[in-house]
Amino acid sequence: MTTGDDAGPIIQLGASERLGARPALTARELADLIGVSQSTVSRAFSKGTSVSPKTRAFVLEQAEKLGYRPNVIASFLSRRASSIVGVVTADFTSPVYIDMLDRLSVRMQELDIHPLLFNLQAGAEAGDQLAVLRQYNIETVIVISGRISHMSVARWAADGRKVILMNRDIPDAAIGSVRCDNSASSLVADHLWEIGLRRVAFVGGPESSAVSAEREQAFVRRVAELGMILCGREGGREYSHQSGFDGTRAVMASRPEAILYATDRLAIGGLDALSWSGGLSVPGDVSIVGFDNIDMACWPGIQLTTVHHDVPRIVDGAIELLQQIQNGREGPRKHLVKGGLVVRATTGPAKA
Amino acid sequence: MTTGDDAGPIIQLGASERLGARPALTARELADLIGVSQSTVSRAFSKGTSVSPKTRAFVLEQAEKLGYRPNVIASFLSRRASSIVGVVTADFTSPVYIDMLDRLSVRMQELDIHPLLFNLQAGAEAGDQLAVLRQYNIETVIVISGRISHMSVARWAADGRKVILMNRDIPDAAIGSVRCDNSASSLVADHLWEIGLRRVAFVGGPESSAVSAEREQAFVRRVAELGMILCGREGGREYSHQSGFDGTRAVMASRPEAILYATDRLAIGGLDALSWSGGLSVPGDVSIVGFDNIDMACWPGIQLTTVHHDVPRIVDGAIELLQQIQNGREGPRKHLVKGGLVVRATTGPAKA
DNA sequence: TTGTAAGCGTTATCAT
DNA sequence: ATGATAACGCTTACAA
């Protein structure tokens, strides 16, 4: 039995679907169909143009009905600009950056702005990417990564691209940024002080990381103010679980009562070293604190005390900046989002 | 003190950088500059065109020197096709899908193919996206998600888009797919049998998930063949840690000696329920096995026995398919990548 | 307010 | 093998 002549297509599609395979309607065709000029169609679809509300409504209604949508490629060419936004990433292993990318890309789509993904490897540098940005007429670039060099960012900006940095900043008025307030790590010192701990240590990320440095600095300062003792300090080569694990083993030599980590991932590596693989009690033997409040931090078996990193609000800020830039509006270009301490089960008084 | 008249620009850039801000060179300008026709320039940059090797080399060399790069937007318009590839995602919480997106996007960039990201939310369906695919002249779509409905995929294909599915398949010759061999879960049954375990259970993902179903089926079949006892079975609403945690608690009522999970994430949820939060010994009291071999599986405190999911090879397959499609070559459109069992520390004989 | 026409920077079809 | 020239589907002066 064949399905060709009697059963019809196997997948049932509506009429408009079936037409799909034929080339999309153009503005000219729509214009001819509904009896207006092609430029009127174009104007109906762009805001800030002089069309009578009536004609615009008519055109949009007919377009909807006949399935017309402006071809953005032609529009980009004509306008010499594109609504594509470059999104630069490099840290797919960081839950926080992934979360940002997730939420950001969803929000962008709602606004009909589409993200072209530039996922840079360790080696890649600005030059190559810049050429691509130009080829696509991309005006705006959002950087979700701590690993792209400042130099790269500066070059994009110098080339006239608008740059929005997530989670970092370069002191330059032309470059927007939205970051969490890393100085919130001082709250950790207060918390540890209150539960009676005095000897503390810090385990950080790579020495080159500004995020780690800022979190450390605010913590160390508050520790000193409170008269607590910073007995140990370790850096790592990366922000990995293993790095947190190793850093913890190393820092334990100084017998701290509590350890602050630059990120939750490091802290969970520490939990592994101390508890899962180490046989110590957390917080009985040592308290540990992370930073970021990633999903994993509230798993039943983890319950990590940490500093909340408000990703949704950071993404809100980036979207706002994006619209501000695209509309040529003025306004503050640097956003700082506050976090707060989330106390869970990995901090507590030392056991007697 | 001002920097305006004496100190020069703060960021020093080379000459070619400084020129950056001015509009990019066009083919016409380059042609005039080096004394050939504009079409010769165009030909030099497209393969399969008739230019003498000599002229092509000359043009490319001069282009390199003068910083010319063809504007892809104009090229897309003229060719009525774009080298942009739509990458559709929906599961940013799944480490495997994230890993795929990471590797895939890096590989694509090496080939000068750029991914436009479509990160669909739970609610979003095919129709809206289809319009955008058309607006961008996007011919090829790669789907990295189990949550996009078959219907959506069928609609894109019916509209003439080439679709590549990662980690799933739709039996339709027009749709490419690259997946891991989910039947490798039968190896788990063999392994458990060999170490002397007889009572086993399965904890899966959502009932609607084909991946979970396939993994379960191959396991269950082998369990039956070996004469082992499938004493319990739980599904979940999602592939989350909590779901693995809850499913484990539920399935323990049937007193299994070992549990296979549809994914590593679920298995780690199980480890939490049993060991971290549950006070049982793994594998002393129960053995557990995951599927995927995500990074976390080899953390010191986890050491999960699992089935390897070869993401790099799956990405290789997708890239191959992509090139095959873009070059109009024929060839097999369905790839199945083998995995293998990785025995770590969460499986072992029951303690006496 | 609306229509006409000249680009935008390519590719592709002609001649030569 | 190379050079004119007409699309490609828009935006945007300029005219009406």
CATH number, domain with residue B127: 3.40.50.2300
Residues B240 and B323 occupy one common structural domain: no
Q: What is the mean pLDDT of chain B?
A: 90
Chain B: closest CA distance from residue A190 (Å): 29
In a domain, residue B9? The reply is: no
In a domain, residue B32? The reply is: yes
Pure H helices in A207-261: 210-225, 241-251
CB B119 within 8 A of CB B89: yes
Q: Is the pLDDT of residue B19 over 80?
A: no
Which chain A positions have a beta carbon within 8 Å of B302's beta carbon?
A: 272, 276
Residues B130 and B172 occupy one common structural domain: yes
Most confident of B111-115, B127-131, B232-236: B232-236
pLDDT for res A22: 65
d(CA A117, CA A125): 15
CB A241 within 8 A of CB B299: yes
Residues in chain A predicted with pLDDT less than 70, given as ranges, are 1-22, 123-127, 352
Per-residue pLDDT tens digits for B239-278: 999 999 999 999 999 999 999 999 999 999 999 999 999 9
In a domain, residue B201? The reply is: yes
In a domain, residue A349? The reply is: no
> Does the reported pTM lie above 0.75?
yes
Q: Is the pLDDT of residue B144 over 80?
A: yes
Tell me the two tokens of residue A279.
């046989």
In a domain, residue B350? The reply is: no
For chain A, the domain total comes to: 3
Question: Where is B131: in which H helix or E strand?
Answer: helix B126-135
CATH number of B30's domain? 1.10.260.40
Residue that is last in its domain, among B7, B42, B70: B70
d(CA B135, CA B161): 13
Residues constituting chain A: 352
Residues B202 and B287 occupy one common structural domain: yes
| Nucleotide with smallest C1' distance to residue B26 CA | C9
Tell me the two tokens of residue B38.
């504009």
Spanning CA of A22 to C1' of D2, the rounded length in angstroms is 35
Tell me the two tokens of residue A18.
């079936």
Which chain B positions have a beta carbon within 8 Å of A17's beta carbon?
A: 155, 158-159
Per-residue pLDDT tens digits for B32-65: 999 999 999 999 999 888 899 999 999 999 999 9
Query: What angle is formed at CA B203 by the lines to CA B197 and CA B209, rounded to 5 degrees?
Result: 135
Residue B40's nearest CA partner among B24, B23, B22, B62 is B62
In a domain, residue A32? The reply is: yes
pLDDT for res B159: 87
In a domain, residue A3? The reply is: no
Residue A221 domain boundaries: 182-309
Nucleotides on strand C with an atom closer than 7 A to protein CB?
1-5, 7-13
Residues B300 and B215 occupy one common structural domain: yes
Mean pLDDT along residues B281-288: 98
pLDDT for res A189: 98
Chain A: closest CA distance from residue B233 (Å): 22
d(CA B140, CA B321): 11
Q: Is the pLDDT of residue B352 over 70?
A: no
Residue whose CA lies closest to nucleotide D7 C1': B78
CB A169 within 8 A of CB A334: yes
Residues B252 and B262 occupy one common structural domain: yes
A–B CB contacts, 8 A cutoff, strictly below: 157
Residues B219 and B154 occupy one common structural domain: no
Residue of A nearest to B97 (CA): A92
pLDDT for res A12: 36
| Nucleotide with smallest C1' distance to residue B52 CA | D1
Per-residue pLDDT tens digits for B302-339: 999 999 999 999 999 999 999 998 888 888 889 999 99
Spanning CA of A39 to C1' of C4, the rounded length in angstroms is 9
pLDDT for res A172: 81
Residue A46 neighbours by CB distance under 10 Å: 11
Spanning CA of B62 to C1' of C14, the rounded length in angstroms is 28
Residue of B nearest to A76 (CA): B73
pLDDT for res B265: 98
CB A185 within 8 A of CB A291: yes
pLDDT for res A183: 97
Per-residue pLDDT tens digits for B192-221: 999 999 999 999 999 999 999 999 999 999
Pure H helices in A46-179: 53-66, 72-79, 95-110, 126-135, 150-158
| Nearest CB partner across the interface for A20, out of B99, B114, B158 | B158
pLDDT for res B350: 87
pLDDT for res A127: 64
CB-strand contact A12/C, under 7 Å: no
Question: Where is B324: in which H helix or E strand?
Answer: helix B311-326
pLDDT for res B332: 83
Tell me the two tokens of residue B254.
């049937």
Per-residue pLDDT tens digits for B60-83: 999 999 999 999 999 999 999 888
Strand ranges for B8-131 from DSSP E: 82-89, 114-119
| Coil, strand or helix at B81 | coil
Residues A239 and A287 occupy one common structural domain: yes
CB within 8 Å: B77 and A74 = yes
